Chain A
Amino acid sequence: MDREQLCMLKELMALEFTVLEFHLYLDTHPTDQRALMEYNSFVQQLAVLKRQYQDRYGPLTWQEPSAYPWQWIDQPWPWEICYE
C-alpha cells in the first residue's frame, strides 16, 4: 500500500472512530441535542471521505460496486498492512 493510500486510510479510520465515539455516547444520552448535531455532521464528512476512498481504492464493505475483476479480494487485507 502506497503512502498516499495509507494516509487516506488513516484519516478515514480516525473519522470513523470519532463517529463511533459519538454513537456510543448517544446510546446513553439520546436527548443531548448538541452531541447529536455534531454526530450528524461527522457522519456526513465520513460519507464523503468513504466515497472518495472507495472510488479510488475499491470497496471497504459489501454492497459496493466493483470494477472488473472482482475487487473485494484485492490485497492487502487489514492485517497485512504495514501501518508504521
Chain B
Amino acid sequence: MWIYEKKLQYPAKVGRANVQMAKYLITQYGGPDGELAASMRYLTQRYHMPTPQAKGILTDIGTEELAHLEIIATLVYKLMDRASLEEIKAAGLGAYYADHDRALYFVNGEGVPWTAAYIQSKGDPVADLHEDMAAEEKARATYEWLIDLSDDPDLNDTLKFLREREIVHFQRFGEALQIVQEYLDTKKYF
C-alpha cells in the first residue's frame, strides 16, 4: 500500500508564470521519459525481480518517482495558474485549453496522451534493469534540455534537483543489475 505525506520532496519553485515553459515541462508529467512512466515502469516490474535488493530498489525508486510527479505537477500548476488566455494562445496551448482549461493532464509537450506503450515489463530482470538504467539517462537528458530552455533561476533550481536524482537512480539500478547478474550466475553453476 501507499501512504500520502502532505509535503513535497523538494521545494517546487517558480520565479514567474510562464505558459511556454509549462508546455515544455508537461512532458515530464505525461511524456515518454516522464515521471509517470518512470513510476509505473518500476512499480510493475518489481514482481519478477529475483533478489531482495532489486525488489527493494524498484519499490523505493518507483515510489520516489511519484514524489517527482507531484513536483512536476506543482511546477506546471504554478506556471499555468495565473496565465491569461492571451498568453495561453500565444504559447500554442489553445487546443490544450479547449480540452483541459488549466488543469493537469498526462500529455507530452505536443499534447499526445500518456500510454503504457512507453514502458515495458519483460519478465527478464536483466532486460528490465537495463531498460530502467536507460530510462534514467533519458530522464536526465530531458531535464538538461528543459534547463537549457528555461531562464528562470528558481525553476532551474528545482529542475537541477530532479536531474541529480536521475543520476542517483541510474547508479542504484546499476548496482541492482550487478547483484542480479551475480545471482543468476551462481544459479547456473549449482
Interface, chain A (partner B; CB < 8 A): 9-10, 12-13, 16-17, 20-21, 23-25, 27-30, 59-62, 72, 77-79, 81, 83-84
A21 to B14, CA, bound (A): 25
**Bound CA–CA A25/B11 (angstroms):** 23
B176 and A13: CB pair below 8 A?
no
> In the complex where A20-B64, A28-B172, A79-B73 touch, is A13 in contact with B4 (Cβ < 8 A)?
no
- Which residue of A24, A62, A78 contacts B8 across the interface (Cβ within 8 Å)? A78
Residues of B within 8 A of A (CB): 3-15, 53, 56-57, 60-61, 64, 70, 73-74, 77-78, 154, 168-169, 172, 175-176, 179
Interchain CB contact under 8 A, B6 and A77? yes
Q: Are B10 and A13 in contact (CB under 8 A)?
A: yes
- A interface, over-half SS: helix
Question: Could you tell me if A83 and B11 are in contact, using CB atoms closer than 8 angstroms?
Answer: yes
Q: How far is the CA of A17 from the CA of B172 in the complex (A)?
A: 16
Q: Are A24 and B73 in contact (CB under 8 A)?
A: no
- Across the A-B interface, give the 7 residue pairs with the lowest CB-CB distance, nearest first: A83-B11, A28-B175, A79-B74, A27-B56, A27-B57, A78-B8, A61-B5
Q: Are B53 and A28 in contact (CB under 8 A)?
A: yes
CB of B10 within 8 A of CB of A17, answer yes
The answer, among B6, B10, B14, B179, for a CB contact under 8 Å with A28, is: B179
Question: Which residue on A lies nearest to B10, using beta carbons?
Answer: A13
What is the bound-complex CA distance between A59 and B57, given in angstroms? 28
User: Assuming A13-B8, A78-B70, is B56 touching A61 (CB within 8 A)?
Assistant: no
CA distance A83 to B75 in the complex (A): 11
Residues of A contacting B4 in the complex (Cβ-Cβ under 8 angstroms): 61-62
